[in-house]
Chains A and B, each alone.
Chain A
Amino acid sequence: MKSNTQQTPKFGPLEKAFRFIGVNRIHIHILLILVSGVTLAPYLWALSTSLKYRVNVFTETPQWIPNPVNLGNYKEVFRMAPFGLYLVNTIVVVVGILAIQILTMSTAAYAFSRLRFRGSEGLFFLFIVQMMLPVHATIVPNYLIVNKLGLLDSRLALMVPFWATGYGTFLLRQSFRQVPRDFEDAAMIDGCSGLRFLYSILLPMAKPTLVAFSLISIVTHWNDFFWPLVVTDSPAVRTLTMGLAMFVQQESGADWTLLMAATIFVTAPLMVLFLIYQRKFIESFMSAGIKG
C-alpha cells in the first residue's frame, strides 16, 4: 500500500518507471500544460466573450482580455428565461435519474459478474442494446408511452426512460469483475451473501467506478435537449438546456455574447461538482487500497 506520509513528494507508483525512460516531472508537466492549454482555450474564450460588448466580439485578431468588461450579458440572460427554476428542475431530474439507476444497475451488474445462470450472455447483450439505439429512434415511441402513462409535461417524464441503464450495468460489471473471487468466498463463509455482499463489499470497492458513472450520468442528463423539448411544455418542469437553446438561432446564427454567458452559467455547477468529485477519486483509492 502506498503511504501518504512521505516527506519528499513522490510521483506515485510509476516514479521509477518514468525515471527509467528518462522522463522527469518537468517533462510531464510541460506535456500536461500543453494539453490543458489546448483543451481549456475554448472555455476561456467563451468566458472572455461572455464579458464583452457585442462590438468587441468579432475582431480580426483575437482579444482575450475583454476591454471594456461587460457584466450586462449575464443580467440579460437571466431576464430571458427563468434560469433559477430551470436549475432546480435540472438538479431534481439528474438526481432522480441517478438514484434509481444505481439501484437497478448494481443488482444487474452483480448478477452478470458474480452469478452463473442460463442465458446470462444473451441477457447481457439485451442490456447493451440500449446503448446502440439512436436517441431519435426512441423519441416517438417513448413519447407515446409517456403520454399513455399520463406523464407528459412532468419531471417524471424526463426521468423514467433513463432509470435502467445498460451502459451503467456494463461499466459496473467490468469493475466488479476486477474484485478477486477470494473476497466472495471469504464473505460467504462469514454468512454474507447476495445483496449484503453486493452492498457492503462490492459496491464500496467499486466506488471509483460509481463516481465516474455518476459524473457521466449527471452530465449526460444535464445536457439532454431533444427529449425534454419534446415531452415538456411549461417552464415549471423544463430544464437548463431549454433556456440555453434560446440563444442559438437558425436564421441568424447565434447571439454570441449571451450564448457564451448562458453556457458559462449552465456549466458552472457541473464544474464545481467535478472539482469536488475528482478529489473523491483519491479518497476512494485509499479506502479501496486498505481492503486490498
Chain B
Amino acid sequence: MKRKSILSMALLLVVLFSAFPVNAQLVRLTYYYPVGVAGPLARVMNEYVEEFNALHPNIEVVPVYSGDYDPTMQKVQTAVRGGNPPDVFIVEISELPTLLAMNAIEPLDEFVTDEFLSDFFPAFLENGYSDGHIWGIPFQRSTPVFYWNKAHFEEAGLDPEKPPTTWDELREYAEKLTVRDPQTGEVIRWGVTISGGWNDWLFQCFVRQNGSKLIDYQERTAVFNSPEAVEALEFWVDLTQNLKVAPPHSTWASTPPDFVAGRTSMLYHSTGVLTFIMDSAQFDFGVGFLPGKVSYGAEVGGGNLFIGKGIPQERKEAAWKFIEFLTTPEMAARWSRDSGYVATRKSAYEVPEMVEYTNENPEYLVARDQLQYAAGKMMSPAFQRVREILKTALDEATAGRTTPKAALDQAQTQINRLLGQWLQQ
C-alpha cells in the first residue's frame, strides 16, 4: 500500500513536471465482485476492468475479488462499519433491504433513464427497487431451470424430448424414473431432486407456479401459509415421503454431481450450473422450464451492482460510468457467454456473437424464455432470518416430522413476530 502510494506520488510528479494536458484528478474506484459460478470469472472480470480503464484515462477502477456472495457481504459490511465503503460492488440481490438498513448504498435515480431501464428484463429489475427508488442494476443473473437426463427417459419408456410440464406429469415421470434395488428396495436412482440449500428459492418458484407468492416486498405483506403454499409443500412431501421418488434433503453443491453421475434423472437447480453439467455429463440432457401448476413460474436470482453510500459526487459519477459500461447490450452478451449467466437485457440477445452462440447452444435460451413467467426474488428486511425460518419449515416437512400446514403455520407465526414492525407500517 505504502509502496503503491509512493509510486503513484512519483507518477503524479512525473505527470506534473512533464506539463501534460492532464486532468491530474485521477478518480480511483474500488470495486468488489464475488464469483458465484464456476469458470475463470475473476480473470474475465479483470479484462473488463482493464478495457474500461483504457477507455477512461481519468478513471481507475481497482477490481477486488471478494470471495463468494456471503464473504462479499461480510467484506462490504465490515468496510461500511470502518467508514470506507467500496465505490461499486456486487452482492446477492435479496440483500437490498439489509444494505438499506446498513445505510450502505446510494439511490441511482439521478442516473437511470426510462430508456436505459426499459431494455432490461422486468423480472431482473424487481429486486433493484425499494421505497420508490432504484438502488441496484442487474448484472450477474440467474434463475432456476429444470434439467433432465434423456438417456434415463428412454430407459423408462418416456419421450426424451418431452420433459414434464406440470406437477402431475412431474410426479408421474418421477415414479417411472425412480430405480430401486429389487432386494432391499433401497433407492438407487431418484426420479427427481429438488436441490437443498437454496430450497427456499425453489419453493418460492413452486408457490409462484401455484399462483401465489410468499412475500410482496413493495406491498409489505408476508403470507407463508396460504393454501397455495401449503399445496406446494404437500406436493414436495408427496414426492419425498409418500412416493419416495425424491430425496427429502440435499445440499446445493452436491446435487449437480448427483445428476452428472446419473443418481437422479431430473434436477431443479440454477442456470448457474448449466456450464458445469455440459462440461461434465457424458449423456444427453435437456434444459427446460420448471413444470407448472396454474401456470409456469420462477423467481430470478444472482447479483446486482450497487454504488456505496456517501462517496464524493465525482466518484459516484465515475462509478455510474463503470456500471453503464458493464451493462451495455454488448457487455451483457459477452458476460453471459463468458459466465453462463442469463444476459440481463433483451437487446443483448440480438448482438451478433450472442445470436451465433445461442444458435449453437440453444440450452442457454431456456432461462431467458422462462423469464416471461418469472418474478423478482423474495426479499424482506432481515431476509436471511426469514429464509432460515422458511428453510427449517421446509426441511421439517419433507422429513415427515410435521405436516406441511403445521410447518408453514409455525413459520408464519415466527415471521409475523420478526417482521411485525415492517408489516404494520
Contacts and interface: CB of A to CB of B under 8 A. Distances in A.
B157 interface: no
A80 B42 CA distance: 7
A230 B74 contact: yes
A233 B272 contact: no
Contacts of B132: none
Interface stretch (A102-110, A178-186, A251-259, A283-291): A251-259
Nearest to B37: A252
Interface stretch (B9-17, B64-72, B220-228, B305-313): B64-72
B83 interface: yes
- Interface range on chain A (Cβ under 8 Å from partner): 35 or more
Interface in A220-277: 225-226, 229-230, 233-234, 236-237, 242, 245-256, 258
Given A54-B279, A147-B83, A234-B62, A254 B75 contact: no
Contacts of A215: none
B262 interface: yes
Contacts of B301: 251
Nearest to B302: A251
Interface string B35-62: 1111111110000000000000000001
Nearest to B251: A253
Interface stretch (A30-38, A137-145, A196-204): A137-145
A245 B272 CA distance: 17
A59 interface: yes
B1 A60 contact: no
B142 interface: yes
Interface residues of B, number: 52
A250 to B, nearest CB: 5
A15 interface: no
Nearest to B69: A250
Contact of B75 (A59, A147, A229): A229
Given A144-B81, A229-B67, A248-B68, A254 B38 contact: yes
B36 A250 contact: yes
B414 to A, nearest CB: 24
B280 A252 contact: no
A251 B37 contact: yes
Contact of A233 (B43, B64, B270): B64
Interface stretch (B230-238, B253-261, B320-328): B253-261
Contacts of A242: 65, 67
Contact of A59 (B2, B261, B270): B261
A167 to B, nearest CB: 24
B78 interface: yes
A5 to B, nearest CB: 55
A93 to B, nearest CB: 15
Interface string B82-93: 111000000000
B276 interface: yes
Contacts of B75: 229-230
Nearest to B276: A252
Contacts of A230: 74-75, 78-79
Nearest to B3: A236
A85 to B, nearest CB: 14
A70 B41 CA distance: 22
A55 B283 CA distance: 10
A249 B67 contact: no
A19 interface: no
A154 B2 contact: yes
Interface of B: 1-2, 4, 30, 35-43, 62, 64-71, 74-75, 77-79, 81-84, 142, 252-254, 256-257, 260-263, 270, 272-273, 275-276, 279-282, 301-302
28 contacts: A55-B282, A57-B257, A60-B263, A79-B40, A79-B43, A80-B43, A139-B74, A140-B82, A144-B82, A147-B82, A154-B1, A154-B2, A229-B75, A230-B74, A233-B30, A233-B62, A233-B64, A234-B1, A246-B42, A248-B68, A249-B36, A250-B70, A251-B142, A252-B275, A253-B38, A253-B254, A253-B276, A254-B38
Interface of A: 54-55, 57-60, 76, 79-81, 139-140, 143-144, 147, 152-154, 225-226, 229-230, 233-234, 236-237, 242, 245-256, 258
Instruction: State the 8 A-B residue pairs at the shortest beta-carbon distance, nearest first.
Output: A253-B253, A251-B272, A255-B38, A58-B261, A252-B37, A58-B260, A251-B36, A233-B64
Given A143-B78, A252-B270, 15 more contacts: A54-B280, A55-B279, A80-B42, A143-B79, A154-B2, A229-B71, A229-B74, A233-B62, A233-B64, A251-B36, A251-B273, A251-B302, A253-B256, A253-B276, A254-B38
